[in-house]
Amino acid sequence: MTAATPGTPGDPAPDLDELLELALEAARRAGALLKDGRPADLAVAATKSSPIDVVTEMDIAAEKLITGLLAERRPADGILGEEGADTPGTSGVRWVVDPLDGTVNYLYGLPSWGVSIAAEYRGETVVGVVAAPMRGETYHAVRGGGAWTGGARLSCRSAAPLDQALVATGFAYVQTRRAHQAEVARQIVPQVRDIRRGGSAALDLCDVAAGRLDAYYERGLNPWDLAAGDLIAREAGALTGGRPGQRASGELVVAGSPAVFASLQPLLDAAGAWHD
């Protein structure tokens, strides 16, 4: 992964509202392409880590649309995209793009998929947008400005004991990792209300922000899977992290309302959710 090239100390900070508007436009355009342009005979263009984890033609087309728009409007910015975009930039701003989070859901015609676009400035996420076209919803946040969908401010759920918490998770497409993740879930299920597996990390994080889930955890996410959703969840009042005392990362992502997060994180650490 190539880090964003920082701007010089004298460079002005970016206008976050401008970055937000651009992210919203890019997500809207990509969402429309994916929703309206999905062919009935959707083909597999390539594979990712295993034959199950597919890359579709539409996935690649959506990333080209997004990165093309970003490069046109802000040519000095860096871009990191799931489908191969990786340019360093010189402005201190880097876009982190997942053009289609929930690819398998999309391939099968399930509605839980989205477009995730985040903007980082000097390594910190400052803008996040997740568009969910089949829900008719777009979630967004600017650092320090709260999390929103449409004109409604998002807020995570109020405090609840862990045994009343609805918790989402995800599973890798590599079989050896899946087996251990299933064992972790087996240990967690008796201690919570129930477990959900939605298939889109970005939407799971937004559902924590919207109060539709009490918590979410997963191992093996990439920066583009979590950048926008992590900011949206935090701006809605949720806590996010990895292992105790660490930030969310590919090792482990945990997000939840503060009380549930405080109870769930040590359980996941003890269960070994952070390793294969």
Q: Which pLDDT score, from 0 to 100, does residue 215 have?
A: 98
Closest CA to 128 of 250, 14, 276, 20: 20
Q: What is the mean pLDDT of residues 215-233?
A: 98
Q: Which pLDDT score, from 0 to 100, does residue 47 have?
A: 72
**What is the distance between the alpha carbons of residues 109 and 34, in angstroms, rounded to a whole number?**
11
Whether residue 3 has pLDDT greater than 50: no
Query: What residues are paired with 46 via a beta bridge?
Result: 55
Q: Which pLDDT score, from 0 to 100, does residue 178 have?
A: 94
Higher pLDDT, 168 or 5: 168
Q: Quick one: tokens of 183?
A: 């064992």
Q: What is the mean pLDDT of residues 64-92?
A: 94
Task: Name the pLDDT band for 4 (thresholds 50, 70, 90).
Answer: very low
Going by their DSSP bridges, the two strands 93-101 and 78-81 should be labelled as parallel
Q: Which pLDDT score, from 0 to 100, does residue 84 have?
A: 84
Task: Name the pLDDT band for 11 (thresholds 50, 70, 90).
Answer: low
pLDDT digits (tens, 9 = 90+) for 127-159: 999 999 999 999 999 999 999 999 999 999 998
Across the chain, mean pLDDT equals 93
Residues written for the chain = 276
Closest CA to 255 of 135, 145, 166: 166
Q: Which pLDDT score, from 0 to 100, does residue 78 have?
A: 97
pLDDT digits (tens, 9 = 90+) for 19-58: 999 999 999 999 999 999 887 776 677 777 665 566 788 8
Whether residue 7 has pLDDT greater than 80: no
Amino acid at 214: D
Torsion of CA 144, 134, 212, 201, to 10 degrees: -70
Query: What residues are paired with 141 via a beta bridge?
Result: 128, 147
To which H or E segment does residue 125 belong? Answer: strand 124-132
Helix or strand or coil: residue 265? helix
Helix or strand or coil: residue 208? helix
**What is the distance between the alpha carbons of residues 203 and 72, in angstroms, rounded to a whole number?**
28
Domains and CATH numbers, the chain: 16-153 (3.30.540.10), 162-271 (3.40.190.80)
Q: What is the mean pLDDT of residues 74-92?
A: 93
